[in-house]
Amino acid sequence: MASRGPLRLAAFALALSTFAGASLASEPEKPQADKPQTDKPLGVVELFTSQGCSSCPPADEFFAELAAKENVVALAYHVNYWDYLGWQDTLSNKENTDRQYDYMRAFGSRSVYTPQAVINGRSHVNGASRKDVDGALARMDRVGEGMRVGIKVSRTSDRVMIDAGDAGNGPSDAHVVIVYFDPPQMVKIGQGENSGRSLTYWNAVSDIQTAGMWHGKAQRYELPMSEIAKKGGCAVLLQSVGKDGMPGPILGAAFIRKPDRL
């Protein structure tokens, strides 16, 4: 399904303390001793979907498989422009819709559609097509358009540390974007094109915050654990941004907190 609409940039600042990873000061608490998660996943899949879109359930089901993978950062953005069909998506918000329109402009497209899967911030495919999504992830990884910058996450009792790696001779500027999402939940749809269906939704994005800037060198960012604990889950994206403010390629990604069951 396709639609058009206005473009607005949705981001707000989150106060963090940052400093170069090469010269970190001693910390009051040591991070937990568990192994850090993989610092370079295969890629990032951002699915734009809607409970009111009859074309979306197959994409949502495939997305549940992606969300279960350890080597893919999968995020679902429920949009609100299909609400007029008779069912208001319970997981949608304006910021999600704005992000999809930002990508539309960045890709030079004339419209948005659901289900749309944006791969690594670089291209988009039909979110219900396993072949297209898996193929795009594999191709980008093969040609050097995958996750180029390592990100490691560690934690103490009161804070989360995000360590972004060094790009070497690669890209030098990106935004550190924190994406919060809900725990998996089942929704019974009462009206609209999917009326009567009960569907389970994974990693539905509830909030997006730009937390800081990365300038190509190893750097650490800190978040209060109290903020993370309020959310169902969250991920960090290291995403380049064009001069026009539009989102660009995602250079690195990691889960900070990932719920794994209903």
The percentage of the chain sitting over the pLDDT mark of 70, rounded to a whole number, equals 84
Mean pLDDT of the chain: 86
The Cα 4–Cα 107 span in angstroms is 14
DSSP assignment of 194-245 equals TTT-EEEE-SBEEEEEEEEEE-SS-EEEEEEHHHHHTSSEEEEEEEEE-TTS
Tokens encoding 53: 């879109």
Residue 108 has pLDDT above 90, yes or no: yes
The pair phi, psi for residue 39, each rounded to 5°, is -85, -10
E-strand spans in the chain?
A: 2-3, 18-20, 43-49, 72-78, 112-113, 116-119, 123-126, 151-155, 159-164, 174-181, 185-188, 198-201, 205-214, 219-224, 233-241, 247-257
pLDDT at 74: 98
Query: What is the pLDDT confidence band of residue 68, given thresholds at 50, 70 and 90?
Result: very high
pTM score: 0.85
Residue 226 has pLDDT above 70, yes or no: yes
The Cα 119–Cα 146 span in angstroms is 9
CB 235 within 8 A of CB 181: yes
Query: What is the pLDDT confidence band of residue 113, given thresholds at 50, 70 and 90?
Result: very high
pLDDT for 233-254, tens place per residue?
999 999 999 888 899 999 999 9
Query: What is the pLDDT confidence band of residue 26, given thresholds at 50, 70 and 90?
Result: very low
CB 45 within 8 A of CB 119: yes
